[in-house]
A and B are shown apart, each in its own frame.
Chain A
């Protein structure tokens, strides 16, 4: 317990304390500063967009992995986990090699906004898939067959039977992937070029504040990120309790 507080709680408290030390006005001025707010806006909007993609693709991938059987499926299975295990800086390099300036497919999005989107997409890939997959495996096929035998079409079955049971898992995965997207740093260093107002994300902004010895500003922006991740955690906890309550 002491170890946990020394490692996690006290440092995080220090961030918040440093941020509010200068008073509310300074805090507000820091995060509404043009470059910072542009960075925060870019990060949050991109993370939302990526989460939306994941909400569609995640269950689809999970569905194929659970219900379909074909040669090479286990390879796909391993591929899902790669973005999670791969060092983020390597992830950035990896994406740069395909979508950077000497791309073999002729797509060059390095230093552009889509690069941020792509990097987020890569690192958040596993979350929704891994949340949905176990639920889908547990799902009782009898209910679906019953629905089908009562004349429900495949779409109706999906919408009325499958989707409701997957919804909490999808929501939890979406929350995680949003949090991960907002906090992503490593993969963007090489890929996005970190141009102010264009491809600079919040984490990079914090780092440049630290390097300029402007610790209060860094702490202020860090507090915003911290608040976002706390909100996500609370949301996750609520989802889990709702699922547990339903049985």
Chain B
């Protein structure tokens, strides 16, 4: 294996050299475009986001402190974290499974499945919530009464929130893994197989290490998306204070109750997490794609 890799590594630097763009010719147009883009992003993203931080710390650390001391808020934050972790775990397991299925196997309806996987990205979260209520709703859903009899309430409780969150974050993991799997091909696995490795061994020793970066991005993106999900959760959770209210629902509630400080503080916490997530992705990505 090492033999096949060496020539590539030797070849890489000159190729990189050649592809590096020649010194850009600076014209007024360059500066104009630079200015337009910076201003656009500044007004649309940077300034509003920074205002949330300013508003949060307008009274020093008071708003953050009162947030952490409010037991309902603590429960909401814990619930958000709990749901996000579950959704990440479920999506990771099934994301890897579905990606392997999509890349390595041919079956009828594969293109359809592939296309359907994008639905959660483009469909409205409200529709997602509605759909889950219709099927798993306690009183008159398709499966709801049956599950309720079995002592398992889905809608208006934590499993429903986890399902809604998993639904909306579903494609992120798969879309990160599929391209990587397609690129690495099956040669190494075939080699391992010919050397007598079992299916499980091949997966652990060959497949998993090569897609670990894809999984990492997938996890980070899924985490960010899951923490931030609002619409779908709003429909399925019932928003019971201290029980099924997540942090995002709390932001709305606080704002509508004229508790602006609390809303800004919660929003600031959530924003910090998501910004941290994308910064992490931005930092680790270049290492993988030199």
Contacts and interface: CB of A to CB of B under 8 A. Distances in A.
B49 interface: yes
Contact of A90 (B52, B98, B167, B256): B52
B116 A90 contact: no
B145 interface: no
Interface residues of A, number: 79
Interface residues of B, number: 83
B37 A179 contact: no
Contacts of A69: 24
Interface in A1-48: 1, 3-4, 7-12, 14-15, 18
A44 to B, nearest CB: 13
Interface in B172-211: none
Contacts of A3: 94
B142 interface: yes
Contact of A82 (B45, B51, B114): B45
Nearest to B26: A68
Contacts, number: 235
Interface in B120-140: 120-136
Describe A's contact surface by its main secondary structure: helix
A63 B36 CA distance: 12
Contact of A97 (B45, B55, B170, B231): B55
Contacts of B118: 233, 236
B234 interface: yes
Contact of A98 (B51, B130, B235, B274): B51
B248 A87 contact: yes
B48 A98 contact: yes
Given A87-B230, A185-B124, A222 B131 contact: yes
A3 B34 CA distance: 47
Given A7-B167, A67-B21, A95 B46 contact: no
Given A79-B41, A122-B45, A186-B230, A87 B125 contact: no
Given A14-B142, A77-B282, A78-B279, A8 B251 contact: no
Describe B's contact surface by its main secondary structure: helix
A229 B124 CA distance: 9
Contacts of A9: 116
A232 B122 contact: yes
A18 B49 CA distance: 41
A77 to B, nearest CB: 7
Given A64-B34, A76-B38, A93-B264, 19 more contacts: A7-B170, A11-B131, A12-B131, A67-B24, A79-B46, A80-B41, A82-B275, A90-B270, A122-B45, A141-B21, A182-B124, A185-B231, A186-B248, A203-B127, A206-B127, A210-B126, A222-B126, A230-B119, A237-B115
Interface of B: 21-22, 24, 29-30, 33-34, 36-38, 40-41, 43-49, 51-52, 55, 94, 98, 101, 111, 113-116, 118-136, 141-142, 163, 166-167, 170, 221, 224-225, 227-231, 234-235, 248-249, 251-252, 255-256, 263-264, 267, 270-271, 274-275, 277-279, 281-282
